[in-house]
Amino acid sequence: MNILVYFIPIALFLGGMGLLAFLWSLKSGQYEDMDGAAWRAIDDDDDRPPV
């Protein structure tokens, strides 16, 4: 039962870090254009000239 004294703060800290990472990704615009990435994945690149 004494191990919970260590595990609960560690779990809260890791959860807080995950929440901060998610909020940072929202603020930096990672979820702005969800449809654009999907269309770029299936876009046909044959019409573009080779580099």
Q: What is the pLDDT of residues 20-51, one digit of tens each?
A: 999 999 999 888 877 877 777 777 666 666 66
Provide the residue type at 50 as one letter. Answer: P
Average pLDDT over residues 10-22: 98
Contact 21, 28 (CB under 8 A): no
50 DSSP 8-state letter = P
The model scores a pTM over 0.75? no
Contact 25, 31 (CB under 8 A): yes
Q: What is the pLDDT of residue 13?
A: 98
Q: Residue 15 is encoded by which pair of tokens? A: 């959860």
Q: Residue 48 is encoded by which pair of tokens? A: 């573009």
Q: What is the pLDDT of residue 10?
A: 98
